[in-house]
Structures are given as structure tokens and as C-alpha cells.
Amino acid sequence: MKITSIKSHVLQYDLPEELGYSQQYYAKRTAHLVEVETDEGITGWGECFGPGNVALANKGIVERVIQPMVLGDDPMDRDVIWHKVYNLLRDHGQKGMPLQALSGVDIALWDIAGKVAGLPIHKLIGGAHRTSVPVYGYGMMLRREDADSMCARFTDEAAAIKAMGFVATKMKIGLGAKDDVRLAQAVRKGVGDDFDFMADANHCYTTSDAFYVGKALEELGAYWFEEPIAPEDLDGYRELRAGLKVNISGGEAEFNRWGWRKLLEARGLDIAQPEVCAIGGISEYLRVLALCHAHFTPVVNHVWGSAVAVATNLQLLAAMPPLPGGLFPREPMLEFDTTDNKFRDELLTTPLDIQGQVARNGGRAAVPTGPGLGIEPDRDFIARYEIH
């Protein structure tokens, strides 16, 4: 079997309302799908992390840089291909966009391997520790409104997400330390005392402000405080973890095993959040997962993107061993963005219907059991939303 082509499909549409987080507001939804074709008619699908113009730049890397390197290679040699591409790109970036581009290709190669074997990816990894995974609902995005209005909205939205059946919820923060504490108080009010909520800062704080917000989250009983400070500040992460009782999480902006080795050795994370569509794909994710567990750091995957990303993460969460094990381990959760996302909800010929599953199945979603990722994108849908 040989690789005959690698195509990028960048999809985009206008959101019904502008959304924001601590770094920016955005009005368009983007997804970057990768399609790997073979001479035996088997096609694999993957996804690259990165929105908007980043996705268009990554399309260039996928099609004009990576594709010529691997045309004619056996797609079953995915680890050989991974190291070939990484080594040739090492001089041009060991992190960031080259790794995002490689991620989409690697995921597609795993999809092909599963289709060749007639097995879901979790079987190729070693089997399913669970056939369904708990799902947390992510919402409470920032908007251009005053803090009082946002607090009222966050209370209502948090209560609504809980009512949908999700096992926990996650909010955005980033207005400034004092207003962010008010937002967190509003979310706790919305979900009540016995429901997990998490706060995502998208690395907007100084260490001092992160301590201020973290102490408040601690008092409110938040489950984790996500990306409180810049991902490069490993010393700051270690200080926060040592000084706060709330779990410190992060890692979505870290790449490959070498970056993760430094992050884990800094002992700054209670919960690791690798992003498979950025880290280097499934091949590198599995190496990073082993590193995390070697450092006794539990993993809750970062998930952002289309149904391809969601299906990939369902496969990985199924195959993730419990840490540290026991009769009643805290399971890894699937992250689910509750805002408008056609590329997740309408991309597939048979939708995953995560939100419907959550409502019907006690907050859980089933792991696909078909070959590879266990999904099939709708080509007519892709053609309708593809940009160039």
C-alpha cells in the first residue's frame, strides 16, 4: 500500500454570535481536516489544531512540505513517517505549526491502520479500559458586555449546562483578577455546591494575579484552574501548584515528548491536558501519555475542533489506563464545547450526537467501535464550507 495524496480541507463559517476568551474575540468557526489517500482506495482522516489563518498556513505545510516527503510511502509505517517528517522539519520548528500539521497527517495514518485491520483505534493501542466516557460541558465564553451582565449570564448558562446532563462544566475567565473572581462565584451559584466546575484563563495572568484568582477558586471548590499563566513559565507553574490547593492544569500549548518532559519535570501540573491535534498526532500523544503517567500526572485531554477531533479523543480516552487505579478511579473526561459548532455536529454521515448521548446516558458518550476512528465525514458538507 502506498500514499498517493494528502489533502487539507479548511472549513469555515460565520458564528451566530461573537465569542471570546482572555486573548481575543472571534466571529468565525474554523476546522482543518486532513485526508490521506492510498493506492488501495483506503482513505484516512485527521485534524490539525489551529483556527483561521493559522489553519490556512498549516494547509500549506501539510500539502507543500509534508506531502512531498511521504508520497509513495507505506501508510502503515506511521512511526517511520512520523520521525522522517519530524527530523526533516527539526531545523524549522520543533513546536508549533509544523507539529500541528504533522498531527493531522499522523491521525489520518492511524485511521488508515484501523481500517486495514478492521479494528477501532483503541484496539490498535491495546484495548478499551472503558466503553463510554464522562463528558463535561464547556461554555461561559467572554463577550463585549459589562461584568454585571456577564455574571448574570454565567449563572444562567452554568445552570443550563448542568441541566443538559454534563458531569461538570468549564468557564472562561480573563476580564481581570477581581472581576474573574465574581464570574467564578456566579458559576458556583449556577451549578450549586455539589457539582464540579473548572476555570480556564488561557494564560492571561501574572503569577501574582493567578494566586489571587486561584485562592478564590480554591474557596469555591473549583476542580481545576487551567492555564493560569504563560506556558513558558515553568517556574511559575511550580510555584502555583505548591501554593494552591486547587488543581493546576495545562499543557495544550506544549508540543512533543521533549517539551512535555521539561513541563512534567518542573512538577507544575496536577492535571495534564495534551492536545492530540497539535502535539504530534496519536503517535506522539501515546509517548506523552506514558511520560505523564511515569510522573504520576493524570491526563484529561484538551479537545477543540470538529467531529474528527472528538472521535480521535474518544478512542484515546477509551484506551487510557486509570491512574493510579483502584475500585473507584476518577475517570478522564471528554471536553465538549457547548457553543455553536457545525463542524462537530453536522460533519459526519452518522453524527456522534454527544449532547444527545449525555442527556440519555447519565452524562456519558459511547466510544465508536467501527474501524479506525469509527466515523465517516460527509464530502458534500466539506465542499459546502471549504475555503482556500
Q: What is the 3-state secondary structure (H, E, C) of 202-241?
A: CCCCCHHHHHHHHHHHHHHCCCEEECCCCCCCHHHHHHHH
- Tell me the average pLDDT across 62-86: 98
Comma-separated ranges of CATH 3.20.20.120 domains in the chain: 123-366
Is the pLDDT at 317 greater than 90, yes or no? yes
Q: What are the tens digits of pLDDT across the range 241-272?
A: 999 999 999 999 999 999 999 999 999 999 99
- Tell me the average pLDDT across 66-78: 98
Question: In the structure, what pLDDT confidence band is assigned to residue 78 with cuts at 50, 70 and 90?
Answer: very high
- Say what the pLDDT of residue 300 is: 98
CA dihedral 279, 7, 113, 52 (to 10 degrees): 30
- Tell me the average pLDDT across 51-75: 97
Question: In the structure, what pLDDT confidence band is assigned to residue 22 with cuts at 50, 70 and 90?
Answer: very high
Question: In the structure, what pLDDT confidence band is assigned to residue 388 with cuts at 50, 70 and 90?
Answer: confident
- Tell me the average pLDDT across 235-246: 98
Specify the DSSP element, H or E, that contains 271. strand 271-272
Residue type, 286: L
C-alpha to C-alpha distance for 218 and 207, rounded to whole angstroms: 16
- Tell me the average pLDDT across 293-322: 97
- What is residue 162's three-state secondary structure? helix
> Which residues have C-beta within 8 Å of that of residue 90, sequence separation ≥ 6?
none
Q: Which is catalytic among the residues 9, 32, 203, 302?
A: 302
Comma-separated ranges of CATH 3.30.390.10 domains in the chain: 3-119+379-387
Query: Lowest-pLDDT range, 64-73, 196-205, 327-336?
Result: 327-336
How many residues appear in the chain? 388
Catalytic-residue membership of 9? no
Q: What are the tens digits of pLDDT across the range 28-54?
A: 999 999 999 999 999 999 999 999 999
pTM equals 0.98
C-alpha to C-alpha distance for 249 and 268, rounded to whole angstroms: 8
- Say what the pLDDT of residue 159 is: 98
- Find, among 72, 131, 66, 71, the residue nearest to 281 by Cα: 66
Specify the DSSP element, H or E, that contains 23. none
Omega before 324 within 30 of 0, i.e. cis:
yes
What is the CA 296 to chain-centroid distance, rounded?
A: 21
Q: What are the tens digits of pLDDT across the range 94-137?
A: 999 999 999 999 999 999 999 999 999 999 999 999 999 999 99
Is the pLDDT at 325 greater than 90, yes or no? no
In this structure, what DSSP letter does residue 115 have?
A: H
The CATH class given to the 123-366 domain equals alpha beta
The CATH class given to the 3-119+379-387 domain equals alpha beta
Tell me the pLDDT of the chain averaged across its residues. 97
